[in-house]
Chain A
Amino acid sequence: MSYQLDDIRESSERVVESMALAPSLDQAWQTVIEMGWLLASLPEEKGGLDLGLEGTLFIQRLLASKLVGAPYLAVSAALVALRQVQVCDDLVDCVVAGQQWAVAPLADTNLSVKEHAAGGFVIDGDINGVCLSGGDEQLLCWSNDLQHLLLVSLNKRGVSIASQPYWDETRQFSSVYFRQCVIDKAEVLLKGEQAQSIIDQVRCVVDAGIAVDSLGAAKTLMEDTLAYLGDRKQFGRPIALFQALKHRCADLWANFSAAEAFITSQGEQLMRDSSAAQAALFLSNSAFVDIAEESLQMHGGIAMAVEHPCHLFLKRAQLNQHLGRSGVDYQRDIFPLDKSL
C-alpha cells in the first residue's frame, strides 16, 4: 500500500495539538513511538510509510510547533544512514519500535579515525549536540574527512559523556568525547565514497530538520503574538491597530513566508543538495530569531516573566542558529558559482 502525507496529516496534527507546550521528553518520545512517526521516511520494504524527507520534515515541524524536545530528528537522521546499510536492518526495526537508541548528532562534529595496529580503528574527537537516553545507545558519527561512517556504542573505554546544560531548556543535549577509543571493524559501517555520500545525506537531513524546526516554532510564536496584539489594549484600543506593530508583524511574516516558500520549493532536493539545505537553514533560522526577538518586544514586560513562554522560543531560536552545519564555513558554500536562472 502506498501512503501519502495526507494519510497521516490530520491525525498527527490532532495528537500534537493536544500536547502541552514544551512537554516532558519521555512523554513526547512515547507519543512519537506510539504514533509510528519514525516510520515516516522509511521505505515500504522496511515496513515504513515511504513519505521520504517530506514526511520527516512534516513531523519535525509539527513537533517544533509545541517546542517538543524529543530526539525525533536525531533518530530520523540516523535512520537515513542505517536504512541504507544492510547489516543494520535489525537495528532499524528496534529503533523505530523504541527498543534501541541510535542517534545522529545535530551539531558539527570533530572526529579523527585511524586504523589500529591490532585491527579495528582508533577514534579521537568531540561530538556535540547529541540527544541521549541514558541507556545503552549508539551514536552515528563520521570522520572529519567524511571517509568513515561509524555507528559506535557509547558504553566502552575511551568514551566519556557530559550532559550540556544549554540556554534552550526545551531540549537536552550531551557532548560525547572519544579519547583513543578503540572500535571494532564492524562499527565502521561504510568507507570511502559510499560513506561520504550517506554522510552528506544525513547532514542535509539535519540541516533541513533544524530549518523546519525553526519554521514550526516560529509559526506558533507568531500566532501567539498576533493573538496578544489583538487582546492587549493601550491608549484605549487594541495594540494590533498601531501601524508600527502591524508593519513589524507583516515584515516578519513576509520573511517567514519567503523561507517557507524556499523550503517547499526544494522538496527532496534538500537531502541531496548541501547548498540548498544550508540556504534553508540560514533563511529559516534568521526568520525564527527575528520573530522571537520581535515577539518578545511586542509582548512587552509580560514576556520577561519566566512563566510566559516567549523566552522558550527565543532560546530555541538562538540555539537553532548553532545546530546543523550552521557555521559560517558552511554558509559560505550557499552561493553557487553557476547561474540559477
Chain B
Amino acid sequence: MDFGWTEKQEALRTNVKSFLKDVLPSNWEEIASLSPGSRAVTDFSREFCPKLDAAGLLMPHWPVEYGGNGDSPWDHFIIGEHLWEIGEPRGPQYYNVNWIGPTIMKYGTDEQKQYHLARMKKGDVIWCQGFSEPSGGSDLAAMRTKAELQGDKFIVNGSKIWTSYAGLAEYCFLVAKTGPGRRQVTVFMVPMDRPGFTVNRINSVVGDGDLHEVFIDDLEIKTSEVLGEVDKGWDVIKYSLNYERVGIPRYALALETLHNTVAELQERNQFGDAAKLAAAEAFATCEAARMLAYEAVDERSKGAPTSGVASMARNSIVRAEKRVAEFVLDWAPDLFASSESPMIATHHKRAIAAGLAAGAAEIQLNLIARDVLGLGVK
C-alpha cells in the first residue's frame, strides 16, 4: 500500500484550503463551536454547500450521472479532512454526501435517485437518521417502531431517540419493522413535515440540535418512499453503516487542536519536557488512527469487501480524540474553557460524543471480535 499523495491530490488539498479561506466568514469559529445541528450551522450549511458544489468539492466522488465528478473516494475523504479540521461547515449535510446519497444510489429507484440526489447536490436539504429507539439503540434489531401496510400505504407508529438534526431536517432516513422476524425491517425516506412526526429537542453536551426524540403516530408513508425492498432493510442499513463508520475523519480536528494547544503552550513558555512527551504520544496516536482510516478508504476505493478495518479505524479514532482532549485538559485547561479558543472547546465536546456518535464504540468492538478475530463464532 502506498499512501503517498499524488500531485492531483496535493493540488486538491491546496484548492480546498484556498476555497475555505475565501468563503468562511471571520466569525466562523464561533459558529462552528455550536453543534453541527444547530440553527446557525445548519443555516450556514445551506449557503456553504452550494458554493462547495460550484467549486466541485461537494460530491466529487459521486458518479457523473448523479452530479458528481466520478473521482476517487480518496478525494472526498481529503475534502472531509479539511472540512472536519475546521469544524465541518457542511453541518448536517455531510450525512448526504457521506452515506445517504451513496445508499440511495445503491438501492433507490430511478425516481428516488433523480429527486433526492439532485436535492443533495443543490446543497440545501437536511436529513436525519431514524435508527435508535428507547428499546433498541445498539441493538437496532430490537426496534419496536412498526410499519403496517394498509392498502397502498404504510402506517407507522413508534418512536426514535438520540436523533441528530431532526429538529431542522426535511427528510428522515427511517427504519421500521415490517414483519415478525428480528431483522424484518424496511427503510423509508420520509419528509419530516408530514403529519405524524413530533420532534422534541434533548439538550446535549455537544450543543443545540444535536439530539432529539421523535414520536411517530399514524404516520402515512407511500410505497414509493420505500428504499430498497420491503422487509430487506437490514441490507440497506448495513450498507449505509459501512459508509458512515469511517465517514468522518475526526482525527483531523484532534490534530488541529493538538497543534493549536502546543502553539499556545510554546507562546507561554510552558511546553516543557513532560508536555512534549504527552503531545508526542497524542500525536502518534492520531497518526496511527489516520493511517488505519486510510486503509479503510483504500479498501473502499478498490471496491474490496469490508474486512473489519473500518471498525478498527473507528475504535482508533475514538482513542485518538480522547487522548488529545486529555492532553488539553492536562496541560492547558483554561483553553478548554476560554471563549477565545472556541475550537478547542468544540473538539472537546465532539470528543465526548466520539464513542457514541454513529453507534456505540462497543458495537465496533463486537464486530472486530466477531469479524476479525473470530471470537464467539460457533
**Partner-B contacts on A (CB < 8 A):** 226, 229-230, 240-241, 243, 245-247, 249-251, 253-255, 257-259, 261-262, 264-265, 267, 278-279, 282-283, 328-329, 331-337, 339-341
User: Given known contacts A246-B369, A258-B289, A258-B291, is B280 in contact with A282 (CB within 8 Å)?
Assistant: yes
Residue pair B316, A258 in contact (C-beta under 8 Å) = yes
1/0 per position for B146-183, CB-CB distance to A under 8 A?
00000000000000000000000000000000000000
Given known A255-B316, A261-B294, contact A229–B375 (CB-CB < 8 A): yes
Let me know if B185 is at the binding interface, CB within 8 A: no
Q: Are B375 and A335 closer than 8 Å at their CB atoms?
A: no
B47 contacts chain A at the CB level, 8 A cutoff: no
How many residues of B are in contact with the other chain, CB < 8 A?
Answer: 49
CA distance A257 to B311 in the complex (A): 11
Bound form: Cα–Cα A328–B370 in Å: 37
Docked-complex contact B277 and A253, CB < 8 angstroms: no
- A230 contacts across to B, CB distance below 8 A: 374-375
| B contact residues vs A (CB 8 Å cutoff) | 1-3, 13, 81-82, 85, 252, 255-256, 258-259, 262, 273, 276-277, 279-281, 283-285, 287-289, 291-292, 294-295, 309, 311-313, 315-316, 319, 362, 364-370, 372-376
> With contacts A241-B376, A251-B365, A257-B309 known, is A282 near B281, CB below 8 A?
yes
Judge whether A331 and B291 touch: CB under 8 Å: no
CA distance A318 to B292 in the complex (A): 25
20 A-B residue pairings within 8 Å (CB atoms): A240-B375, A245-B375, A247-B365, A249-B375, A254-B316, A255-B316, A255-B319, A258-B288, A258-B291, A258-B313, A261-B295, A262-B291, A279-B280, A279-B283, A332-B273, A332-B277, A334-B280, A335-B276, A335-B279, A337-B262
Interface of A (DSSP majority class): helix
C-alpha spacing A332/B284, complex, angstroms: 11
4 tightest A-B CB contacts, nearest first: A334-B280, A250-B368, A258-B288, A332-B276
- Asked if residues B280 and A333 are in contact (CB atoms below 8 Å), the reply is yes
**Contact in complex: B280, A253 (CB < 8 Å):** no
Q: Tell me if B292 and A258 are in contact (CB < 8 A).
A: yes
Instruction: Please tell me if the beta carbons of B292 and A261 are within 8 angstroms of each other in the complex.
Output: yes
CA distance A246 to B280 in the complex (A): 30
Q: How far is the CA of A339 from the CA of B285 in the complex (A)?
A: 15
Q: Are B312 and A254 in contact (CB under 8 A)?
A: yes
Taking a contact as CB atoms under 8 Å apart, the answer to whether A257 and B312 are in contact is yes
B292 touches A250 (CB 8 A): no
For residue B343, give the distance in angstroms from its CB to the closest CB of chain A: 14
A336 with B316: CB separation less than 8 A: no
Query: Which of A251, A329, A335 is within 8 Å of B315, CB to CB?
Result: A251
Complex formed: what's the CA distance from A194 to B277 in Å?
Answer: 30
> Shortest Cβ distance from B274 into chain A, in angstroms?
9
Q: In the complex, are the beta carbons of B284 and A279 less than 8 A apart?
A: yes
A251 to B366, CA, bound (A): 10
| A265→B280 contact, CB < 8 A | no
Instruction: Specify which chain B residues have a CB less than 8 angstroms from the CB of A331 in the assembled complex.
Output: 277, 280-281
CB-based contact B366/A254 at 8 Å: no
B369 CB to nearest A CB, Å:
4
Residue of A253, A331, A339 ringed by the most chain B CB atoms within 10 A: A253
Nearest chain A CB to B79 CB, angstrom units: 12
Contact A250 B376, CB 8 Å, known A335-B276, A335-B280, A341-B82: no
Min distance, Cβ B272 to any Cβ of chain A, angstroms: 10
Q: Which residues of A contact B374 (CB under 8 A)?
A: 226, 230
New A-B contacts (19) at CB < 8 Å, excluding given A255-B319, A261-B288? A230-B375, A247-B366, A249-B369, A249-B373, A250-B365, A254-B319, A255-B315, A257-B292, A262-B284, A264-B1, A265-B3, A267-B2, A279-B280, A283-B285, A334-B284, A335-B258, A335-B276, A340-B255, A341-B85
